[in-house]
Structure 1
Amino acid sequence: MKGENDCGRRINQLAHQIKRRMDGRLGGMGVTGVQGRVLHYIIDMCREGQVFQRDVEQAFTLRRSTATGILQLLEKNGLIRRESVPCDARLKSLVPTKKAGAIHAQMRDCIRETEALLVRGVDPGELQVFLRVAEQMSENLGA
């Protein structure tokens, strides 16, 4: 395979470019790009109800061990805390701290700017096709 039709390689390149940009922009806040996206998700979802590790795993298609590592670092850095749930002592809801709230607007802006840059010049119709194709590819891989 020459590479021009190598979807996996191209997706990997985009993922690395996004990671580098996000890490560079969020590093000053003490979080990586992935941690920032997860924290942003937790903050947003907490407005609708309780958020659990399994929600993060599903939203980002993460293995349990990967999600655990990300959440442990967020907890260690004082950005989230885990609170017991009265109905099930085994469950711990993920709750953002005031420290997380203080950097949330900057994280949100960074994510929005990156997304806007990513799709700049892309026809809205083509973007919808890309998103449908990416979803199909994800399903094909069993994610």
Structure 2
Amino acid sequence: MSAVQLEQACPSELNPLISTLARVHRARGDEMLRPTGISAGQEQVIRHLAARSPIPQNEITRLLGVEPATAARTLARMEKSGVLHRTRSTQDRRVVMLELTEQGKAICDPVADVCHALEAETRRGISEDDLAIFTRVAQQMTRNLERR
């Protein structure tokens, strides 16, 4: 397929726009989270564990909407950095339970501050009406792609 044929087959700016938004949002999140010692994506684990802890690892995997191997790698990095620890359930030794450490609890407020600041920065210059439309469209696109 030639470049012209490829351009004709994929004329939309939508796919690159979505990729770019996701990439720059994650990069900015990483930059803002750096002082807390975690990276973008890990703040969701912190948020869930701060709300309810201990929690089974398979529940975090489900809440994050990722593959078990992806969750396991993320959680291993977070455990190594000292923000959470994993233990076996006392009721079912097959179940791995996750809990924030004191270090993890100490970064909850700074992580929440970063999340609020990132959202404010992302929303800057966008009206509430436009944001509502964007939200509905993004949710529908997500549903469209999840229906595969």
RMSD: 2.2
Unmatched 5+ residue regions in structure 1? none
Partner of 1:76: 80
TM-score of the aligned structures, taking structure 2 as reference length: 0.81
- Residue 30 of structure 1 is aligned with which of 24, 30, 37? 37
Aligned-partner Cα distance in 2 for 1:130–1:65: 31
Between the two proteins, the alignment pairs up a number of residues equal to 140
Report the alpha carbon displacement of residue 6 of structure 1 after superposing the two structures with TM: 2.7
Give the secondary-structure state (helix, strand or coil) at the position aligned to 1:90: coil
Percent identity, please: 26
**Structure 2: gaps spanning 5 or more residues:** 1-6
Partner of 2:141: 137
Within the candidate set 116, 120, 138, 2:120 is matched to 116
Q: Is the 8 A contact 1:42 1:96 kept in 2?
A: yes
Which stretch shows the higher mean deviation, 100-109 or 80-89? Answer: 80-89
- Is 1:100 equivalent to 2:104 in the alignment? yes
For residues 138 and 45 of structure 1, what CA distance do their matches in structure 2 show? 27
Does the CA contact (< 8 Å) of 1:56 and 1:62 recur in 2? no
1:4/1:57 CA distance change after superposition, 3 Å: farther
Distance in structure 2 (CA, Å) of the matches to 1:125 and 1:58: 31
Is the deviation greater in 21-30 or in 68-77? Answer: 21-30
Q: Looking at CA atoms only, which structure, 1 or 2, has the larger radius of gyration? A: 2
Q: In the alignment, which of 51, 60, 64 is matched to residue 64 of structure 2?
A: 60
